[in-house]
């Protein structure tokens, strides 16, 4: 080799692998799955010429594990697909390898020559050579079998139609040879992709948010964490999986906000829980009026008895009274007069909130301290965090912080509260947030819902972004809820609970259908619980508790509703009737939801169902079982009539039951 340096390292590797999916931002980020889910990987794999090739998907549950391999299947147009199941939380790695399969190329060509009645004597010898070349790579038993095949192919004269041709094309030989491929010139895809595997709860769960201080048994005092325990049976009866509490820390006193966000705070007003920190402590302390750390740990344990997981709010900001301000003045910006820089969104000023300065010289210690807040609460048994306004802290911080935390504890779940620009929301999801708030609250029309949920569930976004659907939050009372009475709450609740495997309600405002805004055009609640202690009447007859319990039970009984990956919209001829189905991977459970989007009018129309996708026979009756009313409809054909009167029910949640008894099922029929 006179100029060997110019020969590229993998110059003899003829296979090309490209256009791999999922691969997020050139492998910069991991795809997401929950334990037990499938990772389906596709790629374009091809080579020069016409040889056969072998393609495998390689995966491993950590960077240090051995690769597992599974063959990929050819789909046509140079596209290949393989899949594997993720069984452990953590980070899996995967990549693709492919090589020229000389033996199968030879068999393919041989078949064509046999079909054309050509003389194949030389071909058989070439086959024998290929077999013998692999023999040395096989253990003794198989080596002997291979030699047997080679001898056989070499044995005879090989005129057309020779029985040796049949032997050479024997599937048993193909199978045997496939165990000893020649992978010297195999191409491995240039990157290893990752899948972050989260606990099942990352995919599926019903969240309930409430302010502990509003649940004292009697009016006029702050409820405590102990009082919250008394709410657990009610929350469990409604079927919630996660109880999420706004910040439970001491609340600042300087510039404390009064009722309805008033800049003047009357004595005795409790302040906003998001103005964190006072002389009573900071992010690792509990507000004395709520109780003690022991009370908190008791609440966590009691909740577990009801199969409820507690979620805490993490809001990285301080009241001006937070201990950090004198312990670490360098973590905050100061103005030329020496005062600390409070939060602003000019011309608005938030003097009760002081943001951290992530560009400060001491930012590394700041990062470490903030991470230690998570560590502290993880130590108290918390596994789920709702993170307040993550989009106002650096992306690099989150990527590092969430990465470190999950490396130690892959069971953690982080919900990103960012109702901001779409690319910012997606970036937060990519860099490590498990779930994300999203624009669901403002998607009301059929077209808006169909477009948005198609983007979230049927495009590459679905690989990294898990929507959590909240019809309301303490900050968001949408105009649709304000304007349309109890039916609006029913509609938005059913959409959230059936479109989203994860959804949440801010209660009891939601189930009590509270819908008065602070002022017209505002999405703030009047007399918001953010600034005062409430004493709700949970027994009000308008309460949706019963409906919520029913739907959460349906969600638990129907695995189809526990994932978004098979969400499909179906055509109806009425723009106020939206219809969509979800199915399990195996198609055994299919739930079809139809919602009348009008809170006022009865709507009727014809619905088109894809019988083939639903594995239904056009000639057989099937049953649609409405799990809300227990009514059973017998349908045939793909086109069926729907009528929904919001005064009775705004929605059907049908379970598809394929088999309907006929005379053929009757014992004496035959």
- As annotated, the active-site residues are 388, 417
- CB-wise, 145 or 391, nearer to a second copy? 391
The site for a second copy, by CB under 8 A, has a size of: 71
- CB-wise, 208 or 332, nearer to a second copy? 332
The C-alpha atoms of residue 120 and residue 260 are separated, in whole angstroms, by: 91
The answer to whether 372 contacts a second copy (rule: CB under 8 A) is no
- CB-wise, 318 or 577, nearer to a second copy? 318
In this chain, which of 358, 376, 606, 614 binds a second copy, going by CB under 8 A? 358
What's the closest the beta carbon of residue 613 comes to a second copy, in angstroms? 27
- CB-wise, 401 or 594, nearer to a second copy? 401
What's the closest the beta carbon of residue 560 comes to a second copy, in angstroms? 33
Nearest to 39 by CA among 475, 456, 462: 462
- CB-wise, 122 or 670, nearer to a second copy? 122
Nearest to 478 by CA among 514, 507, 527, 454: 514
Helical ranges in 409-527 per DSSP H:
422-431, 446-458, 479-483, 485-499
What's the closest the beta carbon of residue 187 comes to a second copy, in angstroms? 9
In the region spanning residues 423 to 462, those forming contacts with a second copy, defined by CB under 8 A, are 423-424, 427
In this chain, which of 155, 301, 365, 553 binds a second copy, going by CB under 8 A? 365
What's the closest the beta carbon of residue 304 comes to a second copy, in angstroms? 32
The answer to whether 368 contacts a second copy (rule: CB under 8 A) is yes
Q: What is the DSSP string of 558-590?
A: -GGGG-STT-EEE-BSSTTEEEEEEE-TTSS-E
HEC letters along 349-385? EECCCECCCCCCCCHHHHHHHHHHHHHHHHHCCCCEE
Q: Which two tokens stand for residue 242?
A: 């996660």
The C-alpha atoms of residue 462 and residue 439 are separated, in whole angstroms, by: 15
The answer to whether 16 contacts a second copy (rule: CB under 8 A) is yes
CA angle 455/457/462 to nearest 5° reads 95
In the region spanning residues 299 to 338, those forming contacts with a second copy, defined by CB under 8 A, are 335-337
The SS3 of residue 620 is: coil
In this chain, which of 421, 615, 620, 659 binds a second copy, going by CB under 8 A? 421
In the region spanning residues 168 to 187, those forming contacts with a second copy, defined by CB under 8 A, are 185
What's the closest the beta carbon of residue 422 comes to a second copy, in angstroms? 7
What's the closest the beta carbon of residue 88 comes to a second copy, in angstroms? 25
In this chain, which of 36, 65, 119, 129 binds a second copy, going by CB under 8 A? 129
The secondary structure of residue 253, as a DSSP letter, is -
The answer to whether 157 contacts a second copy (rule: CB under 8 A) is no
- CB-wise, 335 or 664, nearer to a second copy? 335
Nearest to 10 by CA among 55, 47, 39: 47
- CB-wise, 344 or 637, nearer to a second copy? 344
Q: Compute CA distances 553 → 161, 312, 351, 468, 567, whole Å.
A: 66, 25, 45, 18, 20
The SS3 of residue 45 is: strand
From 234-242, 355-363, 499-507, 541-549, give the range in contact with a second copy by CB under 8 A: 355-363
Which residue do the tokens 């109806």 mark?
Answer: 572
Interface map 605-624 toward a second copy (x if CB under 8 A): --------------------
From 8-16, 324-332, 449-457, 640-648, give the range in contact with a second copy by CB under 8 A: 8-16
In the region spanning residues 42 to 71, those forming contacts with a second copy, defined by CB under 8 A, are 44, 46-50
Number of Cα atoms under 13 Å in the Cβ half of residue 466: 28
From 363-371, 487-495, 496-504, 603-611, give the range in contact with a second copy by CB under 8 A: 363-371
What's the closest the beta carbon of residue 6 comes to a second copy, in angstroms? 7
The reply to whether omega before 22 is within 30° of 0 (cis) is: yes
Which residue do the tokens 């349309």 mark?
Answer: 484
User: Contact, 582 vs 567, CB < 8 A?
Assistant: yes
In the region spanning residues 539 to 558, those forming contacts with a second copy, defined by CB under 8 A, are none
The C-alpha atoms of residue 104 and residue 74 are separated, in whole angstroms, by: 14
The C-alpha atoms of residue 131 and residue 148 are separated, in whole angstroms, by: 10
Distance, C-alpha 79 to centroid of its chain: 26
User: Contact, 497 vs 241, CB < 8 A?
Assistant: no
The answer to whether 422 contacts a second copy (rule: CB under 8 A) is yes
- CB-wise, 16 or 138, nearer to a second copy? 16
In the region spanning residues 178 to 237, those forming contacts with a second copy, defined by CB under 8 A, are 185, 190-191
Q: Which two tokens stand for residue 421?
A: 């620009």
In the region spanning residues 377 to 406, those forming contacts with a second copy, defined by CB under 8 A, are 391-397, 399-400, 404
The answer to whether 126 contacts a second copy (rule: CB under 8 A) is yes
604 in the Ramachandran plot: left (φ > 0), alpha (ψ -120 to 50) or beta? beta
* Long-range contacts (CB closer than 8 Å, 24 or more residues apart) made by 109-116: 110/165, 110/168, 110/169, 111/169, 114/160, 114/161, 114/165, 114/169
Contacts of 300 (CB under 8 A, 6+ apart): 310, 380, 381, 382
Element (H, E) at 622: strand 622-626
Q: Which two tokens stand for residue 325?
A: 């301000």
What's the closest the beta carbon of residue 257 comes to a second copy, in angstroms? 19
In this chain, which of 78, 524, 545, 608 binds a second copy, going by CB under 8 A? 78
The answer to whether 11 contacts a second copy (rule: CB under 8 A) is yes
Q: Compute CA distances 659 → 561, 570, 586, 624, 664, whole Å.
A: 21, 22, 17, 10, 12
- CB-wise, 335 or 648, nearer to a second copy? 335
- CB-wise, 289 or 375, nearer to a second copy? 375
What's the closest the beta carbon of residue 429 comes to a second copy, in angstroms? 13
User: Contact, 82 vs 94, CB < 8 A?
Assistant: no
In the region spanning residues 334 to 353, those forming contacts with a second copy, defined by CB under 8 A, are 335-337, 344-347
- CB-wise, 49 or 220, nearer to a second copy? 49
Interface map 101-120 toward a second copy (x if CB under 8 A): -------xxx-xx-xx-x--
What's the closest the beta carbon of residue 419 comes to a second copy, in angstroms? 14
What's the closest the beta carbon of residue 475 comes to a second copy, in angstroms? 18
């Amino acid at each position: 080799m006179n100029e060997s340096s110019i020969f590229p390292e993998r110059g003899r590797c003829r296979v090309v692998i490209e256009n791999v999916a999922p691969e997020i931002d050139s492998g910069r980020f991991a795809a997401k799955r929950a334990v037990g889910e499938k990772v389906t990987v596709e790629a374009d794999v091809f080579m020069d010429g016409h040889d056969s090739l072998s393609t495998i998907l390689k995966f491993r549950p950590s960077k240090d594990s051995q690769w597992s391999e599974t063959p990929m299947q050819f789909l046509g147009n140079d596209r290949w697909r393989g899949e594997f199941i993720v069984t452990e939380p953590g980070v899996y790695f995967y990549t693709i390898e492919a090589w020229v399969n000389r033996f199968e190329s030879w068999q393919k060509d041989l078949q064509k020559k046999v079909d054309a009645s050509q003389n194949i004597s030389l071909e058989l010898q070439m086959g024998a050579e290929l077999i013998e070349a692999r023999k040395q790579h096989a253990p003794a038993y198989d080596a002997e079998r291979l030699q047997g095949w080679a001898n056989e192919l070499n044995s005879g004269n090989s005129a057309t139609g020779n029985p040796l041709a049949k032997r050479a094309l024997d599937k048993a030989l193909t199978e045997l040879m496939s165990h000893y491929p020649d992978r010297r010139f195999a191409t491995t895809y240039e990157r290893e992709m990752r899948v972050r595997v989260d606990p099942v709860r990352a995919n599926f769960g019903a969240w309930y948010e409430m302010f502990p201080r509003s649940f004292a048994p009697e009016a006029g005092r702050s409820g405590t964490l102990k009082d919250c325990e008394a709410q657990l049976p009610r929350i469990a009866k409604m079927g919630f999986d996660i109880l999420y509490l706004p910040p439970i820390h001491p609340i600042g006193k300087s510039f404390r906000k009064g009722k309805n966000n008033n800049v003047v705070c009357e004595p005795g007003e409790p302040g906003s829980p998001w103005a964190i920190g006072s002389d009573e402590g900071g992010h690792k302390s509990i507000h004395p009026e709520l109780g003690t750390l022991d009370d908190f740990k008791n609440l966590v344990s009691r909740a577990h008895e009801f199969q409820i997981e507690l979620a805490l709010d993490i809001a990285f900001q301080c009241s001006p009274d937070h201990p950090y301000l004198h312990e670490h003045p360098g973590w905050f910006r100061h103005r030329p007069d020496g005062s600390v820089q409070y939060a602003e969104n000019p011309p608005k000023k938030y003097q009760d909130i002081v943001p951290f300065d992530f560009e400060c010289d001491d930012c590394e210690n700041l990062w470490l301290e903030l991470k230690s807040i998570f560590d502290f609460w993880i130590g108290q048994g918390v596994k789920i965090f709702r993170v307040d306004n993550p989009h106002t802290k650096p992306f690099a911080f989150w990527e590092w912080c969430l990465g470190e935390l999950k490396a130690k504890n892959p069971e953690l779940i982080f919900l990103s509260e960012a109702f901001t620009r779409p690319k910012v929301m997606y970036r937060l999801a990519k860099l490590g947030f498990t779930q994300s708030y999203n624009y669901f609250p403002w998607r009301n029309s059929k077209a808006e819902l169909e477009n948005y949920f198609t983007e979230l569930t049927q495009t590459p976004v679905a690989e990294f972004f898990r929507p959590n659907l909240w019809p309301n939050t303490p900050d968001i009372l949408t105009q649709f809820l304000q304007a349309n009475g109890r039916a609006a709450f029913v509609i938005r609740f059913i959409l959230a609970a059936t479109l989203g495997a994860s959804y949440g309600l801010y209660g009891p405002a939601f189930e009590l259908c509270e819908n008065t805004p602070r002022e017209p055009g505002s999405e703030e609640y009047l007399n918001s619980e953010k600034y005062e202690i409430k004493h709700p009447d949970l027994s009000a007859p308008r309460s949706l508790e019963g409906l919520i319990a029913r739907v959460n039970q349906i969600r638990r009984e129907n695995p189809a509703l526990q994932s978004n990956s098979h969400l499909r919209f179906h055509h109806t001829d009425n723009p106020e009737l939206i219809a969509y189905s979800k199915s399990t991977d195996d198609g055994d459970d299919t739930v079809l939801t139809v919602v009348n989007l009008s809170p006022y009018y009865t709507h009727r129309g014809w619905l088109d169902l894809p019988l083939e996708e639903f594995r239904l026979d056009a000639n057989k009756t099937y049953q649609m079982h409405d799990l809300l009313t227990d009514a059973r409809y017998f349908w045939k054909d793909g086109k069926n009539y729907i009528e929904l009167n919001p005064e009775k029910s705004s929605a059907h949640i049908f379970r598809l039951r394929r088999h309907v008894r006929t005379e053929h099922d009757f014992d004496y029929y035959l």
